[in-house]
């Protein structure tokens, strides 16, 4: 169950990051409300995951996978470019996440 909580927390993390961009410095009401709720949901579900997972593993995966999701959806929603250095960084994050997951199961 902690991995499901972590997955849900990651979805909230991506929503929070994308929502923050839409708030335009928290000057727009509904994107700001959405962003605050997404942040709260992410922190809450991360805390549920961290009941069982090591904080180093859970937090690292939360931020790493959240970063990848944010960049990918940022490219779709905000037309941001995905460059070769970004792709290399994704590969490093994914490799690190796999190693952390394997280490957590050991």
Mean pLDDT of the chain: 92
Residue 3 banded pLDDT, cuts 50, 70, 90:
very high
Q: In this predicted structure, what is the pLDDT of residue 7?
A: 96
CA-wise closest residue to 49 among 6, 14, 10: 6
**Terminal-residue alpha carbon distance, the chain:** 17
Is pLDDT at 40 greater than 80 in this prediction?
A: yes
Determine how many CB atoms are found less than 10 A away from the CB of residue 65: 20
**Between 99 and 76, the higher pLDDT residue:** 76
10-32 pLDDT, tens digit each: 999 999 999 999 999 999 999 99
Which sequence spans correspond to the domains of the chain?
Answer: 2-105
pTM (two decimals): 0.84
**3-state SS, residue 23:** coil
């Amino acid at each position: 169950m902690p991995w499901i909580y972590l997955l849900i927390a990651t979805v909230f993390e991506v929503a929070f990051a994308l929502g923050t961009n839409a708030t335009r410095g928290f000057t727009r009401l509904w994107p700001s409300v959405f962003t605050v709720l997404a942040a709260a949901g992410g922190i809450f579900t991360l805390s549920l995951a961290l009941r069982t997972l090591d904080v180093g593993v859970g937090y690292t995966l939360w931020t790493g996978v959240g970063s990848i999701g944010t960049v990918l959806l940022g490219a779709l929603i905000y037309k941001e470019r995905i460059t070769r250095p970004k792709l290399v960084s994704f590969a490093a994050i994914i490799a690190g996440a796999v190693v952390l997951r394997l280490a957590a199961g050991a």
